[in-house]
Amino acid sequence: MVFDYVHASVLRLENKYYGENAIYNRVKKDNEQWIFGIDESKINNFLMNFNLSLVEQLNSQEMEKRYFKNASGKIITKVNGTHCIVLAKK
């Protein structure tokens, strides 16, 4: 299973990540409510509730390094830091 999640700190308006204010304001403008987030350090506990185990978790810096480099290895864009992507299995 692959899914993304928003950091719980974003819902608490802690402003810890790149792009946090912009995406929070966009979601609010669209009248969408974020009601659920996960603390990055608690992803294993969350997955265990569904009998899943973590295979891989990518934060924004890891996504930039893996997917957003040019041929010379330079990072070509910043990824919004409010979300992580998770690969989990049963």
Alpha helices in the chain (DSSP H): 8-11, 20-29, 43-48, 60-67
pLDDT-based confidence at 28, cuts 50/70/90?
confident
Give the whole-angstrom CA distance, residue 39 versus residue 11: 11
Res 78 pLDDT > 90: yes
Residue 75 belongs to domain spanning: 2-89
Beta-bridged to residue 13, according to DSSP, are none
Phi, then psi, of 23 in degrees rounded to 5: -75, -35
Residue 59 CB neighbour total at 10 angstroms: 15
Provide the 8-state DSSP code for 54.
E
**What's the number of domains the chain is made of?**
1
- pTM summary value: 0.84
- Condensed to tens digits (0 to 9), the pLDDT of residues 52-61 reads 999 999 999 9
